[in-house]
């Protein structure tokens, strides 16, 4: 801890030395040292000064002392100017975050709509309150209808819910990347970490290629779509799919990507909740 404090202090001093106040202070400090050295040395006072050596020493010491006072004054002035600039930068960064957040809330709402759709059986979707999505609880079997229509009139009544979910997730991830690229997050590093966490989580457990691709495949020796077979397996509660996943017994099973999705979306929603809490606090 002491090493970190010293390192931070060293960086602040180094930064200060390159400011106008820092450069002026160094020059004045050198001049003050030279004058004090001159005052302590023995020298003959030129006749045209009409004063004694002691009086001249007192004058030199007084000038040196005044120079130190000037150093302190300009350093404090620079400090308060820097603080003022910092406050302005902080406010500008927060305003930029809030501008981005206006559209982000729309993207989050769409994400949660389809998050609810893929984690709720189609017969129960009309009973779900989207405003309570952060408290939504579901089992893996509740995801068995993800390949069925979302039932949202505005987004293609017959388009599979999982397709719309991945579109909403992708659009939100792209917007998060824009935020990371266009906002410095100099004063809101916590928000940067939240956005980065969501993007890392989304890319690390991305199974969309397999999950969406299964809609185009058919089971071996049958005309039944592979996605329909998987939906039946997910709905079958006699299988302990999540237990097998935790025991690393699903690596070669068709259900593996869906177990990954089950845990991924729960983590994503927790991160989005952290995002909203952070935005409410700024």
Rounded Cα gap, residues 191 and 196, in angstroms: 9
List, for residues 212-229, the tens digit of each pLDDT value. Answer: 999 888 766 566 889 999
pLDDT digit string (tens) for 52-96? 555 655 666 667 677 777 777 777 776 666 666 678 888 999 999
In our burial notation (b when 16+ CB lie closer than 10 A, e otherwise), range 40-53 reads eeeeeeeeeeeeee
What is the reported pLDDT for 46?
54
CA distances 276 to 6, 148, 263, 264, 281, Å, are: 36, 30, 20, 19, 9
The whole-number mean pLDDT for each consecutive block of 10 residues of the chain, a chain of 282 residues, reads 51 60 69 66 51 58 71 71 75 95 96 95 84 92 94 75 96 97 94 97 90 84 81 92 93 93 96 97 91
Helix axes 20-40, 53-118, angle to 10 degrees: 150
Smallest CA-to-CA distance from 172 within 97, 112, 259 is with: 112
The reported pLDDT for the residue numbered 95 is 95
Strands (E), 4-111: none
Instruction: Phi first, then psi: give them for residue 49, nearest 5 degrees.
Output: -80, -20
* pLDDT score for 3: 47
Q: What is the pTM of this model?
A: 0.73
Q: What are phi and psi of 237, to 5 degrees?
A: -75, -5
pLDDT of residue 219: 63
Nearest to 170 by CA among 145, 143, 203, 205: 203
- Are 165 and 115 in contact by the 8 Å Cβ rule? The answer is yes
């Amino acid at each position: 801890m002491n090493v970190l404090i010293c390192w931070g202090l060293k960086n602040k001093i180094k930064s200060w030395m390159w400011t106008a106040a820092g450069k002026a202070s160094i020059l004045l400090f050198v001049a003050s040292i030279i004058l004090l050295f001159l005052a302590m040395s023995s020298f003959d006072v030129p006749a045209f000064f009409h004063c004694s050596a002691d009086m001249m020493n007192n004058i030199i010491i007084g000038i040196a002392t005044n120079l130190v006072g000037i150093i302190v004054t300009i350093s404090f002035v620079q400090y308060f100017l820097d603080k003022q600039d910092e406050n302005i930068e902080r406010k500008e960064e927060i305003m930029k975050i809030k501008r981005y957040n206006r559209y982000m809330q729309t993207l989050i709402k769409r994400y949660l709509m389809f998050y609810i759709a893929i984690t709720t059986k189609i017969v129960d979707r009309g009973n779900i309150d989207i405003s309570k999505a952060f408290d939504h609880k579901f089992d893996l079997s509740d995801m068995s209808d993800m390949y069925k229509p979302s039932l949202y009139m505005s987004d293609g009544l017959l388009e599979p819910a999982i397709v719309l979910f991945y579109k909403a997730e992708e659009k939100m991830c792209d917007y998060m990347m824009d935020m990371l690229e266009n906002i410095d997050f100099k004063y809101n590093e916590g928000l940067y970490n939240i956005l980065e966490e969501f993007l890392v989580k989304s890319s690390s457990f991305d199974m969309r290629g397999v999950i969406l691709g299964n809609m185009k495949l058919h089971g071996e020796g049958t005309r039944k779509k592979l996605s329909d077979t998987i939906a039946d397996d997910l709905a079958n509660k006699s299988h302990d799919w999540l237990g097998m996943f935790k025991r690393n017994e699903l690596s070669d099973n068709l259900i593996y990507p869906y177990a990954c999705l089950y845990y991924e979306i729960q983590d994503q929603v927790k991160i989005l909740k952290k995002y909203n809490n952070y935005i409410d606090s700024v």
